[in-house]
Structure formats: structure tokens, C-alpha cells
Amino acid sequence: MAPPRAAEPQDGGAEVARTRGETSRPAGRSGGQAQLAIMVTHNDVEFALRLLKRQVQKSGLLRELRRRRQYEKPSERRRRRIREGIRNARKRARVAHG
């Protein structure tokens, strides 16, 4: 077993591999689908799993899958989008004011 080299970066053992585009977007939105990929380095699977979970959370993939489990009527879709808009406006106001 070789000793670790000093020039080798100690990044935690995983790196994010982006494919086609630099931003992650939920499936079904304009701009296509972004693929989530994590490269495991130094056999640090736990760290790579944390990065993958963070990417999935930020991309909204699980929320989108849960939402698409059953049919959503157009009236329900409108109501949901209005509620999301109100929630996002409150969040922006809370962040802006303190």
C-alpha cells in the first residue's frame, strides 16, 4: 500500500459530474432533463451518497416524482401553483427583511 501523496487533494472522496448544462432542473420543465451523477473517489461512498442526496433535493426530482404518482386535475394544478407562489413570496419576503 502506497503512502498518500501530499499533492493529492483531500476533497472528501467524491466529485460532482455534470452532464449537459450546468444547472439541475426538475424533469418536465423547459430546458430538458439534467442527469445527476456523482463520481466516487477514494472509496468514500458515504460522502458521495450525501452529495447525491443534496443534488436530488436541490433538483426537486423526488417532489416531482411524488407529484406525478397520480393524475392532477387542471383546477388542482392551478390551486397548487397559486399556493406555491404565495409560499415562495413569503419566503422571499422573510429572507429580504431579516
Tens-digit pLDDT profile for residues 77-95: 999 999 999 999 999 999 9
> What's the mean per-residue pLDDT of the chain?
78
Looking at the structure, tell me whether residues 36 and 81 fall in a common domain: no
Q: Is the dihedral of CA 91, 37, 53, 61 positive or negative?
A: positive
Instruction: Band the pLDDT of 33: cuts 50, 70, 90.
Output: low
Residue-range definition of the domain harbouring residue 37: 13-67
Residues 59, 80 within the same domain: no
Question: For the chain, how many structural domains are there in total?
Answer: 2
Is 3 inside a domain boundary? no
Distance CA 24, CA 33 (A): 8
Say if 43 falls within a structural domain.
yes
Q: Are residues 89 and 55 part of one domain?
A: no
Specify burial of residue 14 (Cβ count, 10 A radius: 0-12, 13-18, 19+): buried
Quick check: is 60 in a domain?
yes
C-alpha cell at 84: 406555491
Distances (CA, A) of 57 to 11, 49, 63, 71: 21, 12, 8, 23
**pLDDT grade for 35, boundaries at 50, 70 and 90:** confident
First to last CA, the chain: 53
Residue 1 lies in a domain: no
